[in-house]
Amino acid sequence: MPLPSPTGEANVSSSREDWALLILLAAVTLALGSILLPFYAAIMWGLILSLLFTPLHRWLLPRLGRRHTVTALCTMAIVLLVVILPLTLVLLLLAQEAAWLYQGLQSGDINPALYFNRAFNRLPEWVGAILDRFGLVNFATLQRRLTAAMAQGSQFAATQVFNIGQNTFEFVTSLFIALYLAFFLIRDGDTTVRAVGRLIPLAPVHRQRLWHKFGTVVRATVKGNLLVALIQGALGGLAFLALGVKGALLWAVLMAALSLLPAVGAALVWGPVALYFLITGAIWQGLALTAYGVLVIGLVDNLLRPILVGKDTRMPDYVVMITTIGGMAVFGINGFVLGPMIAAMFIAVWHIFDDTA
């Protein structure tokens, strides 16, 4: 009976060590992932801030004597002044308006049923016939349903206010993690990218291509979508303020948030308000808001979003739209970044596979 050669035993031993190492690597990776999962949004935004402000860091670096730590601290100070403080101010003002709205609903000073009754009484007969077909023509029934809906909405608002108070520590912790991570990624970004790149088993040209695609998509998506949302929210808020709509800041923030949904986002807010104006006899206000919404607010979305998002990502507009909506459906507000990013990486990986096939 022939004895196994030393070379064969070495190969078996090496194979077992490779499998053991792979299993151990998978185990510690899953363990680390489970630890970091609760703060995935903070980590993602720390990475996004580093991608957005690394060009500023590189511009400041030679002007500050190539002192990386000092330059990174200056960059983070600019992040605080440009991003964090304005956002905090807007959130405080928004909280005040939300509290005013909630108190008004509870005290009866704000009565949605009254506004609804006024609009209902001015509806044309043919609209009343359609509502009658669905059993909605009785205003008392509508008022009961509206009151029940508002009660549920008020309860939800109260719950959210309580949750915000309860989750203050979590929010502060997530913000600290994002800023802390962004500082080190801005300061040591090039070294980190090279270290991570060496661990990816791809050719250097393919690694560079994937990293370039990732950075381009994140920058374009965040800058493009947020810029469009801010512009649309500001334009809508100014219009509401000029027309005397109460809670203009609250509606502006809502329009900005909904503007993350391409094509129809902001119209979900200004459209019903314009319709209310038209129904209640405020014809010129309704027509002015409709024209302003279509020609100004809508034009921002139709012109800037394809230029700022689609052009840089080199993805068709419909892909950007579908992946943005799908990403937000799966990941929440963070999905407006994750959706297009996953789609872009999917396309890039398939292109690399096609090139190497």
Task: Please provide the DSSP assignment of 23-36 as one string.
Answer: HHHHHHHHHHHHHH
Instruction: Read off the tokens for 203.
Output: 């050719």
Choice among 3-12, 107-116, 275-284 with the minimum mean pLDDT:
3-12
pLDDT at 302 over 60: yes
Choice among 108-122, 176-190, 285-299 with the minimum mean pLDDT:
108-122
Q: What is the three-class DSSP state of 251?
A: helix
Confidence class for position 75, pLDDT limits 50, 70, 90: very high
Name the one residue in this structure whose structure tokens are 């994002």: 178
Confidence class for position 156, pLDDT limits 50, 70, 90: low
Q: Which residues have a Cβ under 8 Å from the Cβ of 99 and sit 6 or more positions away?
A: 161
pLDDT at 161 over 60: no
pLDDT in tens, 81-121: 988 888 887 777 766 766 666 676 666 666 666 666 666 66
Nearest to 180 by CA among 67, 62, 188, 29: 188
Task: Quote the pLDDT of residue 301.
Answer: 74
Confidence class for position 44, pLDDT limits 50, 70, 90: confident
Name the one residue in this structure whose structure tokens are 């151990």: 24
Confidence class for position 352, pLDDT limits 50, 70, 90: confident
- pTM score, whole prediction: 0.70
Task: Quote the pLDDT of residue 18.
Answer: 75
Domain boundaries, the chain: 39-193, 202-357
CB-based burial of residue 87 (10 Å sphere; 0-12 exposed, 13-18 middle, 19+ buried)?
exposed
Mean pLDDT across the stretch 315-325? 76
Task: Please provide the DSSP assignment of 100-113 as one string.
Answer: HHHHHHHHTSS-HH
Q: Does 90 or 1 have the greater pLDDT score?
A: 90
Confidence class for position 74, pLDDT limits 50, 70, 90: very high
Task: Please provide the DSSP assignment of 277-310 as one string.
Answer: HHHTT-HHHHHHHHHHIIIIIHHHHHHHHIIIII
